[in-house]
Structure 1
């Protein structure tokens, strides 16, 4: 028992502390950018410092008195005749509050922060701007504070010609740039970059990013800035699955809790509830002691399942989720596991643990005492394995596609629901009388879960099929299988057929009838999908419509109408590279190679719309089905842009002459997906999908025309983003003197 406690503590320590336990603390990570890489002599440019701050830490800002106590963020620039500072360093959207310890007002950021310093260009040439930064980061967890000092480099900044006679976009005369004006002007110009530093996987960041879209100079990092490995990455998240969001973790915990409730009404578990509760309500123990034992019993169940989550989290490691999300081996393993568990629930066979393990655990439970209560809980977990293993396996397989915390969250949600009735019925034994009697309905629940397991299994097979272009499971076959399974479930619930372990059905209960209605309603909803309907409610879980072999609209009216183009525009088209196995939704013309898209965009005089996407990206499919399908958005994409879809999880191996070593992780990038993912990380500091960037093909720095956005389900907001990008492209094309 002592060794078990030591092992448990060690596993929790590994999961929570990870490899950072023995490292020097660096809670704040700084990166730099310019408001524009090229400026005329006499113009003003903003130097941008983005800060990414570790969880539970905060970074003190520059807009409070240095006499209060904490170190104020300061920049000391090396003197240069090529530029002059304009105004003070501006802190963007810092949080102000009264500090009880320092007895004064302090300003700080959490998660992300941003500072801006305006400079005026005085001399032409290539400017390399250097400044020494001093700052302080603190945490309220244990009171630690860490001083920071590093040299920041901005640029290269190219200064050319003489100042334009008219006002340039984003520039202000030095005399007009007072401290008040700087503070007033900063939020509008800085909002996009501030949002950019936020976690792109959060809904709040996505909404803020869209709201911040204005036709102003982009604030992405320059190539020099983004070439740095870790600090340039604003977030690490697995966007192929919803569990990677903060809100998604709560939703996933609720889903796991629901699975835990479902596990309670399986034939292996439900009959054990009154049997187990009687152990705490009978005997010589007082009621208070019996309740306390029940609480320990419930806590032991939770601890056992959470320990499973910890083990999965530790074994996955940092790169585990990305590997599991896209590689064919884990996806096929999960497919097989789901099929096996589903067939087990249908009664084809029973999954059991070896009797030696069951008997050994049961013998430990018979010894009594507090250790005996723990082993009683372990006995329940082991004995109910044949019914709970498919459910637990399903949760862990879905959790493994999220962040490292998701297996722990999943097991916590499941075990809370699983342990709750044992504890509650021990506290309120009279409630046992209200429980329905065991019977054939338990096996019905088990069979329903079996059908659901088989339907979910197809998602994993589809992910591997799309990433490796096996062409095994197109959209038509996928929908047909779901229609058949859901229809069979409906007929089963109506009693039209029985499985081997079912009891005779004398009458049809109202609950069973309602479940059958839901199954048939789902079947009817799927049927139009066979004829090309988008099925938006399931867009994230079905293969994309481009993988559909037949569309009723196409069959009746011919091919989807393409937008009229001029002869010059048609001549400017190229056969899309990788177009033999990659397609864009809604019959959009587009490309899958950025360099090819740039060539076409220059000839057609259009901006580029980059769609960082993935075969396994649920939200990407939702965007295509519910937002891109809107007539206004579709028209904008067709007429105003050259669209390029960059799949970050595609496994197509490129010719060896195109391989290169990434500056981000020093790994050789050999496949199409790896190179696209590396492009997104190194150039834009983001690795979550979907992610949308608008570029001018003639801009050698590849800076976005407007602030990129992530998942944005609001059609109006997404359309406004496209409109802002197109407007900024046209604005940059107008000569300065003509503006």
Structure 2
């Protein structure tokens, strides 16, 4: 049973590791401008003209569609507006954009359409008088990458239809003394920023993480009844059947190499799909039909592991491979032997490989990620054959096959059952069925966990279980571990700060997809000021340090930070009790009072009209921190002294908590002086 305990710990490690696969990439003190716009005019006939707007984006950035998502909080759609000059032209229809498949975003819980690299928008117009007033077109937009979003911007184009000339920018705006005064008023007189600098950190490789997960999956597969008994038989065949030990060792190592090769070859078709359309695998991951199909397949796999039926590939396949291995001989024969192992062990390895396939298709790694995972899986299966061939005496230390192998299969069956509902959850989120809200999903996992506990304690039995015997210490120990895991899940059913389950981050539906009403004006129900001056007054009154949260309603990673990092008890309590939180939304479209509106000169020399609350706070961030990305967090004291280096997207809760604590310690030190 110690092998069953190892299996559970491996699966537990899989879950934990999956929750931690993020890269730290703090992007401070930088002004990003990853998009450029161009406009041109094409004349179709005497009266019909096309206004063509082209956006070019840097690699990794995307621009959202004009289509608005039917949800309360959504990414900012691109919007085109035109001056009303009927004596010059009339609009024909809406501004057209390329067709694109929607991408399901788990944070927003909706299908989102966006564009990458280059996108062309076209507006058809009917010209009444080409010598009339110029056409003024404005495009309002926001861009994001995987870790940050930039505040929404407006680009203006002044178009002369007579000579088809286009002038970009707010050329009619000037900077007055009043504009400069209002811009200067946003300078918070920050002190101590020169003491901090950005140190760019190298994040861990996702491919390494996926390889390790595949390797863990292969180790789990080794402990199944389809594979484990093959180890001593195959190794003995190579070591005893060869003319000498050296030859037998070479054959066994070749056998292991071909196992790895076969599993790598299984991923080749997905590379072909990826080459045809790099977005295809990602689009597959959001396909409702496919996710429901995965759900059904995993349920079938689960009950197969329970022993109600056996899933095998056609026996003729393995027979043909076995005949080939016997008749050909040499390295080619060894290859067919490895292929035979892959076929006959499918009933045990298939579900595990299905998990690996499903996980790869529901991420951004595509075919290469799948190949890396397959390589890790094949290596884990191959290693025992090579190692035991090198050290045959180790075979004596292997446990005998027996009932514990069936126990392993049943445990895997419960794991497959839990994973099945993950795919159904994906479909539910896409279609907004409301079937698997977060608490319902966790409740199902609790029931599955209790079922596994009942099995391990001998209260529940399956068809292939042997005669009922006294529960071993190992099996009882694993049952206790599973029970503890079930207890860990229980707070996930509540509407408290403990409902966020860090070990399962990314598996259940997001926190906002809940049976509870999550409506609040601040993240997680925290008290947050949405105005710098009011927050500063509160900090001086309460003598507390300030955490400035530059955020946006449409900022994906801002929501991730709030749900996955701020929700951690120690982080949540530190922000709530020890800091004054000021959340400044850079995409708030509410108009400023007229006397607060002004024109601002950007760092690149262009002019930006500041008309909305979001414009104001985005400019406030730019002026004081030379940064325009979100999320962006700053710690200062009531006298506006920097307490720590600002940070951006930091999904490591422990690291973020340490950052908060170090800022708090600096505040206490300076308060004593």
Aligning the two structures, in what range does the TM-score lie when normalised by the shorter sequence?
0.5 to 0.7
User: Match for 1:261 among 199, 219, 225?
Assistant: 219
Moved more, 298-307 or 508-517: 508-517
Structure 1 residues 289-300: aligned runs within 5 Å: 289-300=247-258
Does 2:396 match 1:433?
A: yes
Aligned match for 1:483, one of 430, 433, 446: 446
Matched, 1:275 2:230: no
1:622 aligns with 2:622: no
Tell me the alpha carbon deviations over residues 427-480 of structure 1, each in whole angstroms, 9 at most, x when there is no partner.
222211111111111010011011011112222222332233210101221121
Correspondence for 2:406 among 428, 443, 449:
443
2: CA distance between counterparts of 1:438 and 1:329?
Answer: 40
SS at match of 2:512: helix
Would the aligned equivalents of 1:302 and 1:416 in 2 still touch at CA under 8 Å? yes
1:540 alignment partner, SS class: coil
Q: Secondary structure at the match of 1:640?
A: strand
- Is 1:402 the equivalent of 2:364? yes
Match of 1:364 in 2: 324
Match of 2:301 among 341, 349, 352: 341
User: What's the CA shift string for 1:700-726, capped at 9, x where partnerless?
Assistant: 999697543223434457769999xxx
Selected match of 2:514 from 548, 551, 570: 548
Bigger RCO of structures 1 and 2 (CA < 8 A, at least 6 apart)? 2
Deviations 1:560-605 (A, max 9, x none): 9x78xxxxxxxxxxxxxxxxxxxx8624799xxxxxx9xx999999
What does residue 710 of structure 1 align with?
Answer: 649
Aligned counterparts of 1:331 and 1:645: Cα–Cα separation in 2: 34
2:523–2:562: 8 Å Cα contact kept in structure 1? no
Does the CA-based 8 Å contact 1:362-1:376 persist in structure 2?
yes
Distance 1:312 1:33, change over 3 A: closer
Assess if the C-alpha contact under 8 Å between 1:636 and 1:722 holds in 2. Answer: no
1:354 and 2:296 matched: no
Change (3 A) 1:300 1:620: farther
1:492 to 423, 440, 455: 455
Q: What is the CA-CA distance between 1:272 and the residue it aligns to?
A: 1.2
Change (3 A) 1:284 1:482: closer
1:643 and 1:546, CA in 2 relative to 1: closer, same or farther beyond 3 A? farther
Does the CA-based 8 Å contact 1:601-1:608 persist in structure 2? no
Counterpart Cα distance in 2 of 1:306 and 1:644: 46
Q: Distance in 2 between matches of 1:249 and 1:611?
A: 32
Name the CA shift for 1:499/1:167 in 2 (closer, same or farther; >3 Å).
closer
1:297-342 CA deviation, whole Å, 9 max, x = no partner? 1100000001113333432451134324434233323323322222
Measured after TM superposition, the shift of residue 275 of structure 1 is: 1.5
Q: Is residue 546–residue 585 contact of structure 1 (8 Å, CA) maintained in 2?
A: no
Change (3 A) 1:332 1:381: same
> Which of 512, 526, 539 is 2:475 aligned to?
512
1:704 and 1:610 mapped to 2: Cα distance? 18
Provide the rounded CA distance (Å) in 1 between the counterparts of 2:587 and 2:400: 56
- 2:528 equivalent to 1:586: no
**Mapped contact 1:627–1:633 kept (Cα < 8 A):** no
Deviation of 1:290 (Å)? 0.9
- The residue aligned with 2:435 is 472
Q: 1:353 to 1:307 in 2, by over 3 A?
A: same
Describe the shift of the 1:607–1:488 C-alpha distance in structure 2 as closer, same or farther (beyond 3 A). closer
Once residues 643 and 264 of structure 1 are traced to their aligned partners in structure 2, the CA distance between those partners, rounded to angstroms, is: 52
Distance in 2 between the 1:358 and 1:702 partners? 65
The alpha-carbon distance between structure 1 residues 161 and 299, as it changes in their structure 2 partners (threshold 3 A), is same
The 1:437/1:631 distance shift into structure 2, 3 A limit, reads closer
In the alignment, does 2:330 pair up with 1:388?
no
628 and 482 in structure 1: CA distance in 2 versus 1, 3 angstrom threshold: same
**What corresponds to 2:75 in structure 1?**
none
Aligned to 1:458: 421
Query: In structure 1, what is the Cα distance between the partners aligned to 2:449 and 2:387?
Result: 35
Aligned twin of 1:414? 377
Shift of 1:402: 3.4
Match of 2:567, SS state, is helix
Q: 5 Å matches for 1:643-662? A: none
Deviates more, 1:384-393 or 1:273-282: 273-282
Question: Could you tell me which residue of structure 2 aligns to residue 641 of structure 1?
Answer: 583
Q: Tell me which residue corresponds to 1:223.
A: none
Rate the CA distance shift 1:645–1:699 in 2: closer, same or farther, 3 A. Answer: closer
Partner of 1:220: none
Structure 2 residue aligned with 1:309: 267
Name the counterpart of 2:97: none
TM-score between the two structures when normalised by the length of structure 1: 0.50
Q: Secondary structure at the match of 1:462?
A: helix
Whole-angstrom distance in 2 between the partners of 1:720 and 1:704: 27
> Contact 1:257/1:413 (CA < 8 Å) preserved in 2?
yes
Alignment correspondent of 2:492: 529
Q: CA deviation at 1:633?
A: 3.7
In structure 2, distance between residues paired with 1:248 and 1:277? 34
Say whether the 8 Å CA contact 2:310–2:347 is kept in structure 1. Answer: yes
Cα deviation for residue 530 of structure 1 reads: 2.3
Give 2:608's aligned residue: none
Residues 377 and 455 of structure 1, relative CA distance in 2, 3 Å threshold: same
Alignment of 1:624-703 (within 5 A): 624-626=566-568, 630-631=572-573, 633=575, 640-641=582-583, 696-697=615-616
Change (3 A) 1:443 1:166: closer
1:720–1:287 distance in 2 versus 1, CA, 3 Å:
closer
State the distance in 2 between where 1:165 and 1:32 align. Answer: 23
Q: Secondary structure at the match of 2:333?
A: helix
Name the SS for the 2:295 alignment partner: helix
SS of corresponding position for 2:303: helix
Following the alignment from structure 2 to structure 1, what is the Cα–Cα distance between the partners of residues 332 and 554? 53
Aligned pair count reads: 434
Cα distance in 2 for partners of 1:482, 1:364 equals 45
Check 1:698–1:344 CA distance in 2 against 1; reply closer, same or farther (3 A cut): same
SS at match of 2:436: coil
User: Deviation digits for residues 634-665 of structure 1, max 9, x if unmatched?
Assistant: 6899963365999xxxxxxxxxxxxxxxxxxx
Gapped regions of structure 2 (runs ≥ 5): 1-29, 37-56, 61-167, 188-192, 537-547, 589-612, 630-647, 665-673
Match of 1:97 in 2: none
Cα distance 1:509–1:190, how it changes in 2: closer, same or farther (>3 A)?
A: closer
After TM superposition, the score normalised by the length of structure 2 is 0.55
* Contact 1:607/1:696 (<8 A) preserved: no
Matches within 5 A, 1:205-216: none
Structure 2: distance between partners of 1:512 and 1:630: 38
What SS is found at the alignment partner of 2:267?
A: helix
- Shift in Å, 1:398: 0.8
How far does residue 354 in structure 1 lie from its aligned partner after superposition? 1.3
Inter-CA distance 331–634: structure 2 relative to 1 (3 Å threshold):
farther
Relative to structure 1, the CA distance from residue 277 to residue 618 in structure 2 (aligned partners, 3 Å threshold; closer, same or farther) is farther
